[in-house]
Each structure stands twice: as structure tokens, then as C-alpha cells.
Structure 1
Amino acid sequence: MKDFINKLYRNHSLIYKGLLFIATTIFIVYLFPKSGKFKYDFEKGKPWQSENLQAPFNFAIKKTDAEIAEEKQRIKDNTPLYFDVDFEVKNKVNTDFKNQFKNAFPDSTSVSVLSNLKNIGSKVISELYSFGVLNEAYNYSAERQIVLLDGREIAKDGVFSNLIKQDQVSKIIDKNFKDDIYGSYKPYFTALFFDIIEPNVIFDKSFTEKVTEDELATISYTRGSIDKETLIISKGEVVDDETYQILKSLQIEYESQVWSKSSYILVLIAYTLLVALALLMLLLFLMKYRINVFENNTKVTFIFFNISLIVLISTMVVNYNSKYIYVVPICILPLVFKAFFDARLGLFAHVLTVLLLGFIVPNSYEYMFLQIIAGIVTILTVSELYKRANLFISVGQITLIYIIAYFAFFVIHEGSVTDLKWETFIWFILCGLATLFVQPLIYVYEKIFGLVSDVSLLELSDTNSKLLKELSNKAPGTFHHSLNVANLAEASANEIGANAMLVRVGALYHDIGKMKNPTYFTENQSTGINPHQELSNKESARVIVDHVINGIEIARKYNLPDRVIDFIRSHHGTSVVYYFYAKEKKEFEDVKKEDFSYPGPKPFSKETSILMMCDSVEAASKSLKEPTISKIEAFVENIIDKQIEEGQFLNANITFKEIQSIKKVLKSKLANIYHLRIEYPE
């Protein structure tokens, strides 16, 4: 039992990765649609690439969205408008007319004229209330069908123009006063009618909407059907509009089938295999090419978390409304991975994530093409994320790529630009703006996962920081040495394409351990007194070697990132404090080399290797007397060749060609420092 527990403990890192792998696979599969996926890809106007397709079962042909929208609009336009009518209003108006008629005209008006005017009034009232007078103006077509309701019973039907608007009353009065004989009485007549006329027709909006909804509910979303084994399309045949709709109907029917329990389990197993395969490729990539990331459980968790998060957000957007899928800023993923790791890992993870999203999104090929191209552009354009201008420029380029690619796909599908969906361009612009959120997101990730990005490195490179200020006060010689090493290392990193910001920060902090005993290091000895004279060779070597351990302790105290501490830990590798070792060998025969060696580890990256070379060359260059170009070249060659012989760079992914480039940079920089010129023969 104890052996089993010990074995578990020794392999706890691999066990954790296995559990993380399983949990991520289950989570992503849970988000996937649980139906089968139509196995054919097709596009309108393109030849059918597969074999002859026969209907696998009976299914109905779905109407297109345009057809359904047209049918709905036709129903809305043709459904009658319902109005509530009050017939008692007409009786009331007639009564008021009779009561007020005599008082409306001058007393001198003859009886015959009054009789004729009364007849005209009765005629006008009958005409006004033939259908009714509206309570307010409505903007409907004159030919729109109407129905008048008395209670809930249909009283009369007609067209909207039959109803009288209140501003039409005067026109009807004018029409009945064409005879000039009674023209002088028209103003009295009009004044009387405007006092007594009341609306009796009110639009019943709720009832009209209910009838419209009932009519809309009767719409059939299918037109015709296809019988089983009917030939739908032959190989090589162009997919026209009708065939395209039949294929879309088959696809919808296929994916919406009610699956049996056994089929459902098979679909789940198939999805699980595909997702597991994709995630396994990512783990194998890390194991093969990014072993330092693979061995760090926090970093592996971070990668899997981000992939799961992108899949989750995309799924939620598709479930809400798939037309917003391009608003999801997928390109944040390669940006984040590039900020914390490198471009190659960022692109690899991005491509795998997009492949997984292909199971969720509509038009998966188009979506994957756009997102992979955008991811490549992201990786190629964003070089220094800590520079805000670079991020804005890159986001603009990414948005432009989206727009160009979408435009090309639309033209391929439709064959024209007349029906181009301009609103999709708005989604791309919003996606670009959302990508700018990567800056605060990186800060949040740094705090949660304890990672460090180039943005944090930029802050650490500030020589006014508390720790570097302390170094300059306690060990000014070491601080000056660190600045020189930082300049040399940055130039070397730029030459071979390494992370210049990282190596510069590592160089600034690599000797902070010397603050504990600054006078034991020659660059800080300004009084001419050497405290090593009072120590044995072993003790002196131990003080020198301990500046690495002390540096790590100080770095931990000031919460420096592990990526920076790696430079402190490895900048001397397993080299020997040669001065005291040689001195000891002169005095004693039996000398252990381990007593004068640094504990290591050896440099394990291009950046840590650069620091070792630059640190050794810069420190030793102070001992050069009357330096010349030839002396500096020989001096640089000797120091770096000795490090190669000792195997200091065996664990680093640095090539001989890159080392030669670094030598060239160091020779040039040292020559500039000493203001040397090329030696011409006399």
C-alpha cells in the first residue's frame, strides 16, 4: 500500500493532467449538440461532389425564410381591421340635430328653406353614419378590408375608405351644398354639425392582433414532400435554388430526429473520441516541443481553461442567435497564448479550438476558414503586445481580414453583391473592439494563474523599481554591470529572434543576490580593501556561489515571476569559480571541483543561454588591458567556446549558428564600448 501511495505521489503530475484531460473533454462534449451531424457539405450554385443522393426517409420540404416572411406579410396585409361601432351615437346626433336646428339659423329664414336645410342635414347624417365616423386618424390603405363589430357580432363589413375621418366632415357638407341657393346658409350649417357630430367607430387593436395571430398560426412551414428513395441530386449536378432547399430540409430533418438511446450513446461516444483526439494532439505538442509548459500543471490548466471558455461562449451565442457568432472575439485566444508562451503554441491551440467549434457553428467550413486566417494574421502582426499602438493596428488588420474573407465567401455563394448583408460587417467591427479586451484579461490571468507576460516584463524593466533602486544603492558596481549585460543581452536576443524583453529583465535582476555581501565582489570594491584576504579559498568560493541562492531568496521576497528567477538560478550554470579553484589547486593536491562549482541548473532556453554568455563576457572584459579589435574577438571566442566545451548549453534549444551570431554581436558591442577602430596596417 505504501509503495502504491509513493508511486501515486511520484506520478501525481501526470495523473492531474489525465484528470484535466478527461474533465475538459466531458465539458466540451456536454456543450456540443446531441444530434447527428449531416455528413454532406453543399453550397448553392456549386456542383454536388458526393455520390447520387436518394432520400433516406420521407420528409417535407421546408419553405425558405423569405417565403415564410412573404406569406406572413401577406396575411398581415390582408387580415381585416376590426372596429367597434356604437349605433346609438347616430340616434343621439339625429336628436341633437332636431333640437338645435331652429336655433342654428337666423329668424328671417323662410320655412321652405329651413325644410330643405333639414333634409340636407338628415342626408349628411345618414352619409356620415352609413359606416361610421372614426375617433382618430389611422394610416391604413383605402382598400384594406374592415369589419364593424356591435358587441362581438359582425354588424357590417367593407373597406377602410368607407369610414369617415373627422377632417372629412366638412368635405361631405360641401358636397351637399353644391346648389348656390343655400350657399349663404352653409357657415351656420357647418357650425351646427361640428357641435353635434360625434365619432362612433373605435379601432379594436387587440382583437385585430388576435385574429392576425390566429391566421399566422395557420401558416404551413412546408411545401410538398419527398418520398423515401427519391433521387434528390446526382453527382456533378449543380445545386440550384430548389435543390438547395430540399437538401436543407433533409439536413434539418436529419439533425432534428429523435434518436434512440443506443444511437444517442453512439453520437456521444463519437463526439468524445473526436474532442479527446484534438486535446490529445495539444498535449502531445506540449510534450514534444514545449516540455517546460507540459511539466507545469498551472500552465496546462491555463491552456485547457481558455479553450473551454472560448467553446462555452461560442455555444451560448449560437444557442441565443447564431448570426452573432462573429461577435465572439476568438482571436483573443492566440493573443493570450502568445503573450504568455509563444506564437507557435498560440497558433496550434487556436487551430484546434476552431476545429472543435466547427461542430457547433453553422456554415462550419466558412467559419473555420475565416477564424484560422484571422488567427494566423493575429500571430504574424502582434509582435510586441505591451505597445498599445501595435495592438490597435493588429485589431484593425484582423477586422479587415474578416471583412475581405466574408465578402469573398458571399460572392462565391450568391454570385453577386446586391443582397450583401452589411450588418455582418458590424459584427466584425464589434469583434475587433472586443479583442481589445485582451489587455485587462492578461492582467487578470497574471493574478489568477501567477503567469507573466511581456506587459509585466515591461513594468519590471523599469530601473526606478524598488528592488533595482536598492541594488543601485547597496551594490552600485553590480547595478552598472547588470545594465551593461542587459544591453548586450537585448541586442543578442534581437539578433537571433529570442524574447528580447524577457532576457533584458532577466539581466537586470540576475545579480541581485550580491546585495547581501556586495564588497565581496570586485565591481563593488572602491576602497582597495579585499575581504577575501581574510577567508580561505573554499569560503571565498562559497560566498561567490551563494549570490545565486541569495538572489533567488530576494526574488521570492519581492514576488518576482518564475521566468525571471530562472535567469538568477541558471546564469552561471554549473561552471566553476575558477580563480579560487586554481588558487586552491596550487596549495593542495586533493581538491574537489564540486566545492568550487555553482549548483546549476544549466541554461535551458535561448534567453538564459544568452544571459550566461553576455554576463561572462561583460564581467571578464573589465580585465582587458589595452583592448584591441583582435584582442576582443579572441577574448569573446575563448569565453564562449569554453562554456560550450563544458556543456553549459546542452539543455537549451540554441544552435551553433545562433551562438555565432551572438558572438558577432558581443564583439561589435564591446568594440563600441571601448571606442575602438579597425586596425589598418602601417
Structure 2
Amino acid sequence: MKNLFSLFAKNQSIIYKVFLFVSATLLVIYLLPKGGQFKYNFQKGKPWQYENLYAPFSFTIKKSTEAIRQEEEAIRDNAIPYFEVSDENITPISENFEILLGQNYVDSLYETSLKTTLRIGNSIIADIYENGVTDEIHAYDGNKLVYLKKGNEIEERNYSQIFKTDDLDKKVRAAVEANRSEDIQVLLYNLLKDVLRPNVKLNSNLTESAINSEINAINPNRGIIEKGGRIIAKGEVVEGDKFQILNSLKAEYQSQIWSKSNYLWLLVGYSLLVSLVFLMLFLFLKNYRPYIYNNNTKVTFIVFNILLMVFLTTLVLKIHASYVYVVPICILPLILKAFFDPRVGLFVHVLTILLLGFIVPNSFEYMFLQFIAGIVTILTISELYKRANLFISVGQITLIYIIGYFAFFVIQEGNIQTMEWQNFQYFIFCGLATLFAHPLIYFYEKIFGLVSDVSLLELSDTNSKLLKELSNKAPGTFHHSLNVANLAEASANEIGANSMLVRVGALYHDIGKMLNPTMFTENQANSVNSHNELDPKESAKIIIDHVIKGIEIARKNNLPDRVIDFIRTHHGTSLVYYFYKKEREIEGKANKEDFLYPGPIPFSKETAILMMADSVEAASKSLKEPSSSIIDNFVEKIINNQLEQGQFLNANITLKEIETIKKVLKKKLNNIYHLRVEYPE
């Protein structure tokens, strides 16, 4: 049991990666829709690349989405609306009319008698309420057939037979003209206008229910292809009827071939393909980014982002397939570039698009657009901490989507008359969603303990609390750190390393000296050296301890691990030679182990650059009469000595890059000491 526990402890990193690999694979398989993939790839407007295709079985031809949409529109246009009569009793209305007439009729004003006026009015009321009255306005033709619902009975009528309150004036005029009683027209109109009550309304629910019933009854098929019938010949253009037949075969193939009986084989196929994608990710990290591969947190972070994009895409597809371009896939390379480097961002983006290719419609079009957009993201955003860069890049990404989609549509349809321009809104929404990268980076930094260029920019502020404390307690060390930061940043820019990271690392690399600043020569205000009264071993221990104390201060102030790495490695496993030599002179011998820094040695280009810049800058203070040749030899000697000690064995830095850094350091030191050509007197 003890041996098993020991084996587990030694290989826990590998075991965790295996667990992460299996879990990620299973989760992606769970998220992917369970359906087979049609073995032929075809595009509308493109020639058929395969041999002549014959129907492997009989199947029905599905109507196109456009054809079904047209049928639905036709059903809505020709639908018979339902009107409901709420009350057919006209007696109260007639009574009200008679009362009002008695109150307003004056014998001396009208030639038509009261009795005749009452008869004409009741006749109009009876005629109006024969089929009901409505005050609603609808755009129906007068001859439009409508259903009039009276209680439980439904009668057919023309829309013109339902009386509209706006037609009252015309109705009254016709009635008085027929009775030659034009003198009472105004009186009748005003009285009837007051007593009439609409009793017919459009029953929208019943009408819509009838329409939906007809739409649901639409036959999605329009014909049948018998087994063995030729569907398409090689070289024939996939368009029109051929395109629809192929889509029908694809749908039928997936529903018939991929059934419960072979569901297990479907899972096996998906498992192998998804496993290959994640295997490529782990192999890439192991071979080309070992510093990421060896950090389980960083590997988890990358896998988490892949799963997040797969989850968001599948979720959107369940809502509506046309919304797939709203998912901001380009956030993935953008964030990974912010935390790692462009190559990692692009590689992970490509693998994620390969996974999404299983589930999205028009997978070739989708993958092409996302590949191009991802490349544009990597190429355009160089400094994410500059806000303008993100907005510019998002604008370029959106433009790429729009141009690509437009090109694909023209190729497939051959015109732009049928283009649905509202689809371009999805790309704009996608661009706006990509702006969410900044807050997302902040959350990731807090959750995963990573550091981005945005945080590095904040840490590089010399007015920050920790750097202010350094400048107050150890001004000489602070000045030295600034010089080292300038040298290291220039060197990093020259060889393509992360200049912002190396600058921040340089600013904080010596913060451990704050606890005992006068023990370091750059902070000694006078010629008195405190080390003269100490044993060489004690002096060496104080010098070496500034690394350990620096790490403690950094952790206390929540500096990121990537910055703490510079504190740990800036002396590597080098020797405190001055006190080692002094010990030998006093004692005649010295234990080398007592004068060595604990390490580790640099393990990246950036930490290697800092070691070189720090050693050269610190030692340059000892030059009494610096000249160009002296500085050149001095830089060569220090860096070559570090090479001989094997300080750069773990750093992914080449000899050519080291030679480039030497040139930069020589040039910068020459500028610092203002060396000029000696002119003859």
C-alpha cells in the first residue's frame, strides 16, 4: 500500500493529465449531438466530386425550407378569419333609439313624421345587426370569406356583410333617400351613432389556431426516389432540385443508418476522433510548450476554454442554428495569446474549430470563416493592454466574417437578391461579444492564478506600493532595477521574447534587499562597508538570502508566479565569488556549497535575459575607466562564464539569441557611460 501511494505521489501530474484527457473527451462527446455523419461532402453551386450516385434505398424528397416557408405564407394569406358575435339581441338598442328620438324630434323642424322616422331607424338597426357590427379595421377584401361564430354555430359570410361603424353615414343616406326623407338624415345619423354598439370582434386565437393546424398539416415531402435511381452524375453542378434531393438523402441516411442498433459504434467513432484532437493538444504542449505542459493549472485552463466554446456553441444551436455565428469563438485565441503566446492561441483555436465542425451546419463554410478570423485575431492584436488595439481587432474580425459570408452566399446562390441581410447582425453581435475578453481575462487571472499583459502593465507602474517602498528603503537597488529593466526589455525586443514580462520581472527581482538594504553596496551612502566586520560565510548568507526574502515579500504582496520566477532564478546556481575568494584567503580553503545561490537556473528566454542583464549591469559599476573595448570584453566574459556554468541549459534560448543579447547590452552600456570617439588634441 505504501509503495502504491509512493507511486501515485511520484506520478500524480501524469495521472491528473490522464484524468483531464478522459474527462474532457467524455464531456465533449456528451455535448455533441448523437448523429452519424453523411459520407459525402457537397456544396450548393459546386460540381459533384464523386462518382455517379445512385439511391442506396428508397427515400422521400424533402421540400426545401424556402418551399415550406412559401406554403406557410400562402396558408396565412388564404386563411379564413373567425369573427365572433358577442350579443345578437337588438331590442335594447331599438328601445334606446326610440327614447332618444322622442327627446330630440321636433315637429316644426321636419317634414317626415315621427312614426316614419322611427320606422326608418328601426329598419336600419335591424339591417345592420343582421350579421353584426364591428368597429375594427382589417385589410380584408370585401369578397373575403369569413367565419361568423354565433354561439356554437359557425356561418360563412363575406367580409363586406359585416357592418362597419365607419359606414353608418352611407347606410343612413341610402335609407333616407329610398324613403324620400332626406330632412331627417342628420338626426338619424347622430342618434344611431349614439346607440349602436359593436358586437362582432375578430377571434385571433381561433384564427391562429386554425392557421397553425393547417401549417402543421403541411406535407414536408414532395416526391420519392426509388432505390437504384440515379441522383447525380460526376461533375454535375449541385444546385436546385439536385441539391434538395441530396439533402433529403443525407437526412434519411442519418435517420435510417444511425439507429439504436449501432449507437455504440457511433460513440466509438466520436470517441476516437475527439480523443485524437485532445491527444494533439497534449503532444503539442509536451513537445513545444513544456512549461505549460508541466503546469497542471495551465493545462486545465486551456482545456476549460475549449470545453466552454463547445458548450456555448451546442447551447446556441439548440436555440436556433442560424445564431451559431453569435458565439464569439475568437475570444479563445485572444485570451490564450494574452496568457501564453500566439502559437498556442492559434493551435488551440484550430483544434476547437475541428471539434465544432462535427456539430455546426455548413461545416466547411463555418470552419473556413473561423480559421480566417482566428488568424486575423492572432496577427492584429499585439498589445492587448492597449484598449484601442482590441477595438481595432474586433472591427477587423467582424469585417472578415461579413466579407467571408457574403462571398460564400454569392458562390452558392449566384446572386444577392435572396440574401438575408439581417444575418450580418449576428457578426456584429459576435464582434461586440468579443469585447468581453477584458473582463474575462480579469476573472481568469483570479480563478487560475495566471497573469496577462494587462496585469503586467499595472505591475510595471513604479508608483505601485511595493516599488515605492523599494525606492524609499533601498534607492540604490531601485535605480539598479530600473537600469536592469531597460537593458532586459531592449534585449527581449531584439530576440522576440515577452518584453513586458521581462521588464516587470526586472523591476521586482531584487525586492528582497529591502529588509537589509545597507548590506548591499548600491545602497551604502558612505565608504563604510558593513561586510568588513562580518565573517565571509555570514556575508554570503546575507547576500544569498535576498532571493529567499524576495520570494516571501512577493508572495505576501500577491505577485503572480510568473513574476516570482524572476526573483527565484535571477542568480541561478551561481557562486558568490567575492566572499568565496575571501574565505579561501582567510581560511586557506572554503566549502563551495556555502557560497552558492539555491537556484533554480533560468527556464525561459525571459528569465535568462534577466540573469544576463542583472549580472552585466551590477558588475559594470566596478568599471573605473570604461571604454568601448573594455565594455565589450567585460560583457563577453560575464555571459560566457554563465554559459560555462550551465546556467542557460533549461532555458529555450539559442546561442544566436545570446549573441544578439550581448550586442544589445554592449550598445546600451556604451550609451549609459556616454562613450564617444576620442578626438585628437
The interval holding the TM-score normalised by the smaller chain is over 0.9
Code of the aligned partner of 1:60: T
Correspondence 1:175 to 2:174 = yes
Counterpart CA distance in 2 for 1:326 and 1:81 is 39
Code of the aligned partner of 2:482: L
Code of the aligned partner of 1:475: A
8 A contact 1:513–1:549 mirrored in 2: yes
The alignment covers a number of residue pairs equal to 681
Code of the aligned partner of 2:446: K
Q: Go from structure 1 to structure 2 and tell me whether the alpha carbon gap of 1:606 and 1:159 turns closer, same or farther (over 3 Å shift).
A: same
Code of the aligned partner of 1:40: Y
SS of aligned partner of 1:307? helix
SS of aligned partner of 1:256? helix
- Range with bigger deviation, 393-402 or 54-63: 54-63
- What's the counterpart of residue 493 of structure 2? 494
Identify unmatched segments of 5+ residues in structure 1: none
- What's the counterpart of residue 28 of structure 1? 28
Counterpart CA distance in 2 for 1:386 and 1:108 is 93
Counterpart CA distance in 1 for 2:505 and 2:99 is 106
- What's the counterpart of residue 594 of structure 1? 593
Q: Go from structure 1 to structure 2 and tell me whether the alpha carbon gap of 1:503 and 1:105 turns closer, same or farther (over 3 Å shift).
A: closer
Counterpart CA distance in 2 for 1:559 and 1:302 is 20
Q: Go from structure 1 to structure 2 and tell me whether the alpha carbon gap of 1:622 and 1:613 turns closer, same or farther (over 3 Å shift).
A: same
- Range with bigger deviation, 533-542 or 522-531: 533-542
8 A contact 2:395–2:431 mirrored in 1: yes
Correspondence 1:642 to 2:641 = yes
- What's the counterpart of residue 18 of structure 2? 18
Correspondence 1:407 to 2:406 = yes
Q: Deviations over 1:131-155 (max 9, x none)?
A: 4433544342323212333322244
Correspondence 1:247 to 2:246 = yes
- What's the counterpart of residue 146 of structure 1? 146
8 A contact 1:581–1:593 mirrored in 2: yes
8 A contact 2:495–2:660 mirrored in 1: yes
Counterpart CA distance in 1 for 2:27 and 2:635 is 55
- What's the counterpart of residue 234 of structure 1? 233
Q: Go from structure 1 to structure 2 and tell me whether the alpha carbon gap of 1:614 and 1:164 turns closer, same or farther (over 3 Å shift).
A: same
- What's the counterpart of residue 321 of structure 1? 320
8 A contact 1:72–1:216 mirrored in 2: yes
8 A contact 1:83–1:147 mirrored in 2: yes
- Range with bigger deviation, 53-62 or 566-575: 53-62
Question: TM-score, normalized by length of structure 2?
Answer: 0.93
8 A contact 2:110–2:183 mirrored in 1: no
8 A contact 1:128–1:169 mirrored in 2: no
- Range with bigger deviation, 145-154 or 496-505: 145-154
Correspondence 1:397 to 2:386 = no
Q: Go from structure 1 to structure 2 and tell me whether the alpha carbon gap of 1:267 and 1:183 turns closer, same or farther (over 3 Å shift).
A: same
- Range with bigger deviation, 40-49 or 211-220: 211-220
Code of the aligned partner of 1:355: L
Counterpart CA distance in 2 for 1:516 and 1:98 is 108
Counterpart CA distance in 1 for 2:208 and 2:431 is 42
Q: Go from structure 1 to structure 2 and tell me whether the alpha carbon gap of 1:86 and 1:323 turns closer, same or farther (over 3 Å shift).
A: closer
Code of the aligned partner of 1:313: L
8 A contact 1:79–1:145 mirrored in 2: no
Identify unmatched segments of 5+ residues in structure 2: none
Counterpart CA distance in 2 for 1:560 and 1:604 is 19
What is the percent sequence identity of the aligned residues? Answer: 61
Counterpart CA distance in 2 for 1:117 and 1:2 is 114
- What's the counterpart of residue 369 of structure 1? 368
SS of aligned partner of 1:27? helix
- What's the counterpart of residue 539 of structure 1? 538
- What's the counterpart of residue 77 of structure 2? 77
SS of aligned partner of 1:66? helix
Counterpart CA distance in 1 for 2:540 and 2:88 is 117
Counterpart CA distance in 2 for 1:346 and 1:31 is 23
8 A contact 2:572–2:601 mirrored in 1: yes
Counterpart CA distance in 1 for 2:614 and 2:88 is 106
Q: Go from structure 1 to structure 2 and tell me whether the alpha carbon gap of 1:71 and 1:457 turns closer, same or farther (over 3 Å shift).
A: same
Code of the aligned partner of 1:554: I
8 A contact 1:35–1:257 mirrored in 2: no
What pairs with 1:183-194 in structure 2 (closer than 5 Å)?
Answer: 183-191=182-190, 193-194=192-193
Correspondence 1:64 to 2:61 = no
Counterpart CA distance in 2 for 1:194 and 1:37 is 69
Counterpart CA distance in 1 for 2:56 and 2:4 is 55
1:304 shift after superposition = 0.9
8 A contact 2:573–2:598 mirrored in 1: yes
- Range with bigger deviation, 563-572 or 74-83: 74-83
- What's the counterpart of residue 464 of structure 2? 465
What pairs with 1:123-162 in structure 2 (closer than 5 Å)?
Answer: 124=124, 127-129=127-129, 131-155=131-155, 157-162=156-161
- What's the counterpart of residue 436 of structure 1? 435
Q: Deviations over 1:273-325 (max 9, x none)?
A: 11111001100011101111111111111111111111111111111111111
Question: TM-score, normalized by length of structure 1?
Answer: 0.93
1:110 shift after superposition = 11
SS of aligned partner of 1:429? helix
Counterpart CA distance in 1 for 2:100 and 2:622 is 125
1:369 shift after superposition = 1.1
8 A contact 1:78–1:145 mirrored in 2: no
Code of the aligned partner of 2:68: I
Counterpart CA distance in 1 for 2:61 and 2:140 is 35
Q: Deviations over 1:162-213 (max 9, x none)?
A: 2221221221332344579643343345455446655454433333333333
